[in-house]
Amino acid sequence: MSRILHPKISPYKEEWLTVSDHHQLYIEQAGNPEGIPVLYLHGGPGSGCSENHRRYFDPEKYRYISFDQRGCGRSKPAPSIEDNNSQMLVTDIETIRKHLNVDKWLIVGGSWGTTLAMLYGIQYPKHVIAFILRGVFLATQSELNWLYQYRGAAQFFPDYFQDFIAPLDPDKRQNILQQYRDIFSDNNELAISSACKAWYLWELRLSSLEHNASSLSHVEDYHQAACMAQISNHYFVNNCFVEEDYIIENINKISHIPAIIIHGRYDMVCQLNNAYRLVQHWDNASLQILPQAGHSGFESQTIDAMCKATEVMASFLQD
């Protein structure tokens, strides 16, 4: 029987944790305070956590924890790329763990959240019980080329790709990420706004087989678009602040930890072959390929797979 999301729940605690002179992180907890600690890591970088992420988890079994990563969502300030890199995000997670007095937790993430989950696990494996990872992103150059160059996803969505590169100088479109970086670094608010919406729309259009954001008018939340565009660009221009193939080369540090990996066969944001490659190096990981799903965490098959995975993990961890 297909699963549906658990009923909506509100956080039982919300707070802002100061992690640097520049950043305060929004943290929320929901579900059972005595339940299995689970940290959900949102995507992007820059998307922020969603109330629907809580609904993957049985609120009677899990102590749900999530936070808006540096510079996005309800964290302060946002959008902000100052003092913002992968190593700092990993440190933030460990700071949150200590702050909330969690010994070990289940780590769950989607898209960029899978990257951050694995980076955290590689550095702090003794604090990770298990992983659930949806839409794997390994932070490699080939993945960035797929998304932001002419011979990748653009081959499947040439019309949408033209909208994506429309804010750029036609004579300088070979270096798309840097062109966007230049716009975001300027003081032209109109150009920044247009670029943020175009960036966000490109990913929205690629993300789901079931939903279709067809025009800029669908990008209604400018704060969300600005956080996603400016922070993602900051990370991707800097190769996500990790060495090439860092995760695969260090996977032995977490390969003993159980992992359920879920990936849509028609994921046009994060290609399936990267998830497939990952499990070849991860002794204790299983890969579930969803035959009619893309990248979004809220397509029918993905919801079903995520809710089943959290049920399986709850049974496993409570035994």
According to the model, what pLDDT value does residue 187 have? 87
**Does residue 165 sit in the same domain as residue 217?**
yes
Residues 148 and 133 placed together within one structural domain of the fold:
no
* Same domain, residue pair 48 and 118: yes
pLDDT tens sequence across 167-197? 998 877 778 999 999 999 998 999 999 999 9
* Residues annotated as part of the active site: 111, 267, 295
Whether residues 250 and 132 fall in one domain: yes
In this prediction the pTM is: 0.95
> Is residue 36 located within the same domain as residue 171?
no
Supply the pLDDT for residue 170.
Answer: 83
Domain assignment of residue 1, yes or no: no
Q: Same domain, yes or no, for 105 and 169? A: no
* Residues 98-133 pLDDT 10s: 999 999 999 999 999 999 999 999 999 999 999 999
What's the alpha-carbon Rg for the chain, to the nearest Å? 19
3 belongs to a structural domain:
no
Tell me whether residue 8 is in a domain: no
Q: Considering its fold, how many domains does the chain have in total?
A: 2
Residue 115 and residue 41 in one domain: yes
Structure confidence at residue 217 (pLDDT)? 53
> Which residues in the chain land under pLDDT 70?
1-2, 211-218, 319
Q: Which domain holds residue 231?
A: 142-240
Q: What is the pLDDT of residue 210?
A: 77
Give the CATH number for residue 310: 3.40.50.1820
Q: Are residues 303 and 185 in the same domain?
A: no
- The pLDDT score that the predictor gives to residue 216 is 54
For the chain, the distance separating the N- and C-terminal CA atoms, rounded to the nearest angstrom, is 24
Are 249 and 227 within one domain? no
Question: What does the pLDDT read at residue 1?
Answer: 54
Domain membership of residue 64 (yes or no) is yes
Length of the chain: 319
